[in-house]
């Protein structure tokens, strides 16, 4: 059975239907029943694991879709999150996630997976320095429960209501440019916002050159002032001798 996307789209945009119960709208109800029929037809093809994850995600959404998560969430937290139903290659269902930023009831996160194929391809500065930039291997020493892969190009903004449970925190210094958190953010900026990243790199190089030029000029100025002071001192030392010679 085929769901009529066009008809449903028209109903969704029509203000007249916004306060009308779905059960009293035959087109909506019929298409909903088509959807249920299609899902039931797919049951034979699903594994027990996938069906469990789909059921959990749908039921959580139905139960909590209007809730506001009230607990505190901080940058650097590692959380178990329900990402719901997603299109491939996005990660669906429950996965760990690293919090990069928060705003009110929203947070910007990078999901993680323990997929063995992704672990084999993932970048790590010592284990696999030639790995793919969008897969970053992390492990227990970083604050995760076990080895897994952060899917950097799957970063997204989601509701805090999707949090299932806290898992821990990154162990690194979040401000240190040489450590994991800043490395991940810089990788994200470099590849997902490359023009802005490149422009910033140009500014950094220009600043460094100006700083070098300034230091060179300052050193020359300091050397000149030292030479002037030395010559002034020599002049002062010569003045008494000159007076003595004149008096003779």
DSSP secondary structure string for all residues of 170-212: --S-TT-TTSHHHHHHHHHHHHHSHHHHHHHHHHHHHHHHHHH
Q: How far is CA 142 from the centre of its chain?
A: 16
Dmax over CA atoms of the chain, in Å, equals: 126
Give the global pTM.
0.78
- Is 114's pLDDT higher than 80? yes
Q: How far is CA 121 from the centre of its chain?
A: 20
| Measured distance CA(238)–CA(223) in Å, rounded | 23
Architecture of domain 67-174: Roll (2.30)
- Is 70's pLDDT higher than 80? no
- The pLDDT assigned to 247 comes to 59
Structure tokens, 51:
């069906």
Task: Tell me the pLDDT tens digit for each residue of 140-196.
Answer: 999 999 999 999 999 999 999 999 999 999 999 999 999 999 999 999 999 988 888
Q: What is the average pLDDT score of the chain?
A: 91
**Residue 74 banded pLDDT, cuts 50, 70, 90:** very high
């Amino acid at each position: 059975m085929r769901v009529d996307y066009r008809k449903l789209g028209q109903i969704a945009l029509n203000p007249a239907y916004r306060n009308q119960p779905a059960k009293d709208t035959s087109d909506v109800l019929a298409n909903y029943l088509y959807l249920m029929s299609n899902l039931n037809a797919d049951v034979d093809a699903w594994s027990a694991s996938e069906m469990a994850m789909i059921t959990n995600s749908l039921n959580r959404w139905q139960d909590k879709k209007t809730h506001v998560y009230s607990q505190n969430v901080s940058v650097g937290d590692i959380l178990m999150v329900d990402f719901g139903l997603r299109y491939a290659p996005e990660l669906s269902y429950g996965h760990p996630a690293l919090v990069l930023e928060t705003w009110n009831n929203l947070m910007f996160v990078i999901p993680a997976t323990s997929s063995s194929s992704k672990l084999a391809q993932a970048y790590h500065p010592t284990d696999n320095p030639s790995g793919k930039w969008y897969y970053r291997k992390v492990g227990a020493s970083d604050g995760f429960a076990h080895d897994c892969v952060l899917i950097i190009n799957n970063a997204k903004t989601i509701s805090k209501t999707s949090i299932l449970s806290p898992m821990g925190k990154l162990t690194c210094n979040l401000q240190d440019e040489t450590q994991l958190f800043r490395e991940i953010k810089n990788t994200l900026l470099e590849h997902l916002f490359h023009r802005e990243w490149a422009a910033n790199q140009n500014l950094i190089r220009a600043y460094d050159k100006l700083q070098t030029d300034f230091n060179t000029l300052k050193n020359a100025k300091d050397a000149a002032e030292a030479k002037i002071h030395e010559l002034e001192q020599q002049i002062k030392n010569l003045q008494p001798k000159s007076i003595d010679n004149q008096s003779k």
